[in-house]
Amino acid sequence: MTNQTKLSQFGQQLTLDSGIFDLMADLGQALNVNPDLLFLGGGNPAKIEAFEQLIADYLHQIADDPKALNQLVGIYQSPQGSEILLDLLVEYFNQNYDWPISRKNIAITNGSQSAFFILINMLAGHHPDAHKHFLFPVVPEYLGYSDQALGEGYFKGCKPQIELIGEREFKYKIDFEKLNITAQTAAMCVSRPTNPTGNMISDQELAQLSELARNHRIPLIIDCAYGAPFPDICYQPLMHPWDENHINVFSLSKLGLPAVRTGIVIANEDIINSLVKVNTIMSLANGNLGPALLTKLLQNNQLDLLCEQHIKPFYQQKRDHLISQIQAKFSGIQYRIHQPQGAFFVWLWFENLNISSTELYQILKQKGVLVMDGYPFFFALPDDWSHKHQCLRLSYCQSDEILTQAVEIMAEVLHGLAKH
Ligand SMILES: Cc1ncc(COP(=O)(O)O)c(C=O)c1O
């Protein structure tokens, strides 16, 4: 018999059941252990042949060059990140976006998830004058933020307006009337495009948020994990202006590199200095593989080409396939799809379902179809709201055959439920 180790408050906080742990456990089960499951669950990107071929070429080039190999595996990176990459990123954002930034505005992290851990705990929580929170202007939001806070009361969300579009679509919009920024608000945060809904906060909404943030002297965090300029899984053009008050968080994951764990934060010097200090304490240094591959992509001018010619069209085709399957097989079922404007998810709303989305998720899992229950994405909204129990998120990263099969099984289950 072993004595159970007593955990500190920190230990207890981070070992409670967490939505993101369940999500990653489902993902691991489906992608590594039981490949027969039809996996429309977590946020793993698709395998895109042209991209992986390019990465293979770069890896060969590095392996064949003793100096490059030593830099990849044998040298700790500087705290802020690889100097060559910082220079290339400055040039890239100066040229493409007209952002007036220098090296001092950029920090590399081990994945954007860990950048968020730092940002959330560095900005929200205990301050001498108040207990401060993150404010999410549109809920549902990325559930990966939810368990990162090292204390209670770190998150508040704003219930969105729901615009019904035609018979089968809808869109969440920021309800600026209800957006309550107070002296306790540490920062606002939006993922754009949004995980889980595929929503794209419009340029006008972003400008309005930006102005509010500036007036209240709080940062606006823009999570670009799926956004522009890379991987740019955005099905409509969008503006992304520079602002001293914005904290822009990028990631290499959805390009097709989730396993290299590289995030990039671009913000004012003050924020970057603080973030780099925390990151160095937490990680000592960042991994070198992601930065080495991004360096190659930028040096060879391949990054934008890749996004435009391979990544975006790939996901657009997948999205269209999944939606056409849903439209064909869900006839007679009451459902709406959130306007799929970006990322690689379809967000479904079943307003008249006679069971909760959590129960539906469980039934589908038993039938071999893994989707995401929508409920955990409403973590920042404690209010009683039936809508929180009526949504599912489907990822469309798998083959067309898997998507077709999964929709067939879903339709069977939903038709069965409609009869009761
Ligand atoms: C919106 C959003 N932000 C951040 C992340 C974290 O990504 P990573 O840590 O792989 O960069 C994810 C992952 O799925 C995400 O969907």
Report the C-alpha gap between 334 and 247 in whole angstroms.
40
Q: Give 5's Cβ-side CA count (13 Å radius).
A: 6
Which of 367, 310, 314 lies closest to 344, judged by CA? 314
pLDDT bucket at 32, cuts 50 / 70 / 90: confident
Domains of the chain: 9-51+305-419 (3.90.1150.10), 76-302 (3.40.640.10)
Residue 35 CB contacts under 8 Å (≥ 6 apart), including other chains = none
How far does the centroid of ligand 1 lie from the alpha carbon of residue 215, in Å?
Answer: 29
pLDDT tens readout for residues 99-122: 999 999 999 999 999 999 999 999
| Segment among 19-23, 298-302, 362-366, 391-395 with least mean pLDDT | 19-23
Residue 34 has pLDDT above 80, yes or no: no
148 lines ligand 1 (CB under 6 A): no
Going by pLDDT thresholds of 50, 70 and 90, the confidence category of residue 298 is very high
Is pLDDT above 60 for 1? no
Whether 110 lines ligand 1, by a CB cut-off of 6 Å, is no
Give the distance (Å) from ligand 1 centre to CA of residue 109.
12
Q: Are the C-beta atoms of 29 and 37 separated by less than 8 Å?
A: yes
Is the backbone peptide bond immediately before 231 cis, with ω within 30 degrees of 0?
yes
Prediction pTM value: 0.95
Task: Give the pLDDT mean for 4-10.
Answer: 86
pLDDT score for 2 = 59
Ligand 1 atom with the smallest distance to the CA of 263 is 11
pLDDT above 90: residue 36 = no
Each residue's pLDDT tens digit, 227-253: 999 999 999 999 999 999 999 999 999
pLDDT, tens digit, 9 for 90 and up, residues 320-372: 999 999 999 999 999 999 999 999 999 999 999 999 999 999 999 999 999 99
Indicate which atom in ligand 1 lies nearest the CA of residue 194: 1
Instruction: Quote the CA–CA distance of 337 and 327 in Å, as a whole number.
Output: 10
Give the residue, by CA position, lying nearest to ligand 1 atom 12.
225
Using DSSP bridges, classify how beta strands 131-136 and 155-157 pair: parallel, antiparallel or unpaired: parallel
Q: Give 180: exposed, middle or buried? Use CB within 10 Å, 0-12, 13-18, 19+.
A: exposed
Least confident span in 33-47, 178-192, 325-339: 33-47
Residue 161: CB partners within 8 Å, gap ≥ 6? 172, 173, 174, 175
| The pLDDT of residue 22 | 75
Determine if ligand 1 sits within 6 Å of the CB of residue 223.
yes
CA-nearest residue, atom 16 of ligand 1: 195
More confident residue, 105 or 28: 105
- Does the CB atom of residue 142 touch ligand 1 within 6 A? yes
Q: Residue 355 has which token pair?
A: 């069971």
pLDDT for position 278? 97
pLDDT reported for residue 27: 73
112, 190, 226, 230, best to mutate for ligand 1 pocket (most atoms within 8 Å of CB)? 112
Q: Report how far ligand 1's centroid is from the alpha carbon of 19 (Å).
A: 14
pLDDT of residue 376: 94
For residue 253 and ligand 1, the question of a CB distance below 6 A is answered with yes
Task: For residue 226, report the phi and psi dihedrals to the nearest 5 degrees.
Answer: -110, 0
Ligand 1 atom index nearest CA of 115: 9
How many A from CA of 113 to the centre of ligand 1?
6
The model's confidence at residue 176, banded by pLDDT at 50, 70 and 90, is very high
- The atom of ligand 1 lying closest to the CA of 226 is 1
Given the CA of residue 42, which atom of ligand 1 is nearest to it? 14
CA torsion 414-39-155-197 (nearest 10°) is -60
The first and second tokens of residue 3, run together, are 């004595």
The encoded tokens of residue 99 equal: 């952002």
Nearest ligand 1 atom, CA 195: 1
- Ramachandran assignment for 2, one of left (phi > 0), alpha (psi -120 to 50 degrees), beta (any other): beta
113 lines ligand 1 (CB under 6 A): yes
Residues of the chain with pLDDT > 90, as a percent, come to 88
pLDDT at 132: 97
With a 6 Å cutoff on the Cβ, whether 191 touches ligand 1 is: yes
Single out the residue of 120, 110, 89, 103 nearest to residue 285, CA to CA.
110
Residue nearest to atom 2 of ligand 1 (CA): 225
Q: What residue owns the CA closest to ligand 1's atom 6?
A: 113
Averaged pLDDT, 145-150 = 92
Of 35-44, 340-349, 388-397, 409-418, where does mean pLDDT reach its minimum?
35-44
Instruction: Output the six-digit token pair for 28.
Output: 């691991």
Query: 193 CA to middle of ligand 1, Å?
Result: 12
Quote the pLDDT of residue 15: 82
Tell me the pLDDT tens digit for each residue of 367-384. Answer: 999 999 999 999 999 889
Q: 195: Cβ below 6 Å to ligand 1?
A: yes
Whether the CB of 109 sits within 6 Å of ligand 1: no
Determine how many CB atoms are found less than 10 A away from the CB of residue 73: 12
Pair 406, 393: CB distance under 8 Å: no
User: How far does residue 204's CA lie from ligand 1's centre (Å)?
Assistant: 24
* Predicted local distance difference test score (pLDDT) of residue 8: 87
pLDDT of residue 266: 98
